[in-house]
Structures are given as C-alpha cells and as structure tokens.
C-alpha cells in the first residue's frame, strides 16, 4: 500500500519510513504537490487531522499525518504545538540548534526540567475511516546538548530510563523509545489489518 505522508520534513519521512517498514511512503513535494496547510488547531491531534484531511482532499489516497512536539513542565507546556516554530518571529525560522539553545536559556534557574515528546499520528483511509493514535515518551531537559544523531531537540532531551539524550541513541534505540516509534507501531498494526482485509 502506498501512503502519502502529510509533511515536508525529509528527516521525519526517513524516520517514519523506517517505522512503517513494508509500506511505501511518499512526501507531497516528491510528486510536485504543493502542500502547506494552516495548522491552527489547539492540540497535536487537531493539527494532525488538519494535515491529514488537507492532503487527502488532494490525493484521495491513504494518508498518514504526524503532529508532534516537546512539552516542558517548567515552561507551562511550551513549546508544545509551537515546537517547530519556537522562537521564530517575522517569518524568520531559527535553526534547530538556535531553538534548543533558546529552550535551555528559558529553563535556566528552573528546578523542574521534566519534559515529554508527544506525537499524534492520524491514518486516513477515506473520509469516514480515520484512526488517531497519540503517544509520548517521558524524560527531562539536559543541562547542555549531547550527541550527534537525530534532529530537532534530540540533543537536549534525556530519554527516560536510558541516561542518554535522544541524539545519543542509535536509530533502533530511538525507534524503541520515541513518541513517534510508539505511535507508529500501533499505526503499522492497523495498516497490516487493513491490507489483510483485502486479501
């Protein structure tokens, strides 16, 4: 089964393709499709649904959409749904390193560094057949960045029970622990059920 992934992020596609092994994953831009929906939901699930529905209306084929982010208790839940745009102003986007450096600065002096990565995944097979999974991985924000793997905030997120940042984990280790890994495993089970129905 071919799946369209409602994203423009090649890093996310690489990770998702690995997690959904056995299913072909295609980004809209790989087929020349212009895709940039306005994500004005108030939750990860709402934004994932916006992306899924927007792309499904264009391709009329099965779509997987992800909305994910970092939630920090010491910052009252920020960056949350604004994780990708954290620190951006006047249309100027910060690099990942600039974003996690800003995060570390805002957490200076705060005792509570507990945090979690949250992932909402939507599998849309038709207008009336939609599956939603939301998962998370608990951890805390490290005092300084460590590791060279992964992307985004991975260098500053200490993954629960590992003693390592997400950027210090191998791809297999990250898939085992990550919010996206946990959600994708459930989506893959659903996909396998759906494909077996057609046999």
Q: Cα–Cα distances in Å, from 54 out to 4, 98, 127, 133, 164?
A: 12, 30, 11, 18, 37
Count of positions (residues) in the chain: 199
HSE of 110, CA atoms in CB hemisphere, 13 A: 19
Residue 65: beta bridge partners? 122
Give me the catalytic one of 67, 73, 90, 161.
Answer: 67
Residue 69: beta bridge partners? 118
* Token couple for 166: 């997400």
Residue 136: beta bridge partners? 118
Instruction: Please say if 67 is a catalytic residue.
Output: yes
Task: Please tell me whether the peptide bond between 79 and the residue prior to it is cis, using omega within 30 degrees of 0.
Answer: yes
Which ranges of the chain would DSSP assign to H, the alpha helix? Answer: 10-19, 44-59, 96-106, 171-177, 179-197
Positions marked active-site: 67
């Amino acid at each position: 089964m071919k799946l369209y992934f409602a994203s423009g992020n090649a890093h996310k596609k690489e990770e998702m393709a690995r997690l959904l092994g056995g299913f072909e994953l295609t980004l809209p831009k790989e087929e020349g499709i212009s895709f940039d929906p306005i994500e004005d939901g108030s939750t990860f699930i709402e934004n994932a649904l916006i992306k899924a529905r927007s792309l499904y209306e264009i391709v009329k084929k099965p779509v997987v959409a992800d909305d994910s982010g970092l939630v920090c208790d010491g910052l009252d839940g920020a960056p949350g749904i604004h994780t990708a745009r954290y620190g951006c102003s006047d249309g100027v986007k910060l690099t990942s390193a600039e974003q996690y450096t800003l995060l570390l600065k805002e957490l200076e002096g705060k005792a509570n560094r507990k945090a979690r990565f949250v992932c909402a995944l939507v599998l849309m097979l038709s207008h009336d057949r939609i599956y939603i999974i939301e998962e998370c991985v608990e951890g805390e924000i490290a005092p300084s960045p460590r590791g060279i793997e992964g992307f985004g905030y991975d260098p500053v997120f200490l993954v629960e029970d590992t003693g390592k940042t997400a950027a210090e984990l191998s791809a297999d280790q990250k898939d085992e622990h990550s919010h996206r890994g946990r959600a994708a495993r459930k989506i893959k089970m659903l996909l396998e059920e759906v494909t077996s129905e057609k046999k």
